Amino acid sequence: MKSVGARVRATIRDVPDFPKPGIIFKDITPVLADAALFRDLIEAMAAVYREQDVAVVAGIESRGFILGGALAAALGAGFIPIRKPGKLPHDRRRVDYSLEYGTDSLEAHVDAVSHGTRVLVVDDVLATGGTASAAIQLVQELGGNVIGVAFLIELAFLSGRDRLHAVPSSALVMYY
């Protein structure tokens, strides 16, 4: 029987020239639609962190919410959203970061984590590492202790792992 990673990889849909020409977008929608595969991938991701006393999972907007919420439930942890600006209703902390094509920002509620809270950051894809790096910085500025960063997919050829502030990371599917 195929591993969970192999099953996920076989189910991911490549969408050429999205969001711009030359990019091959890794669409996880078919993966999420397969109930058994979704359950299995969450269990595989949770297994990496099950013994690490994760108190809170921080999911990065937007697909990180889907994975992060399910992962938080599997780990018996809380969940906090890390959002694009202007989406959170309460007092927020903001981190600006650079992208290959400009800048962007992430926000979280200022009371999202208590000092020393063990946080696992989750997103669907690790590409250049800019968004994940900003999420780590944001959680740390709030006082959280980022114990890991979990991804469904890592585009290793983009070397995004190098930008993760030496925080351990994991990915279920790697593209080299």
How many angstroms from the chain centroid is the CA of residue 39?
A: 17
Q: Is 51 a catalytic residue?
A: no
- Whole-angstrom Cα distance, residue 153 to residue 151? 5
Q: Which of 63, 92, 93, 118 is catalytic?
A: 63
Q: Three-state DSSP class for 156?
A: helix
If we measure between CA atoms, which residue out of 27, 17, 5, 7 comes closest to residue 171? Answer: 5
Q: Is 100 a catalytic residue?
A: yes
Structural tokens at position 147: 């114990």
Residues noted as catalytic: 63, 100
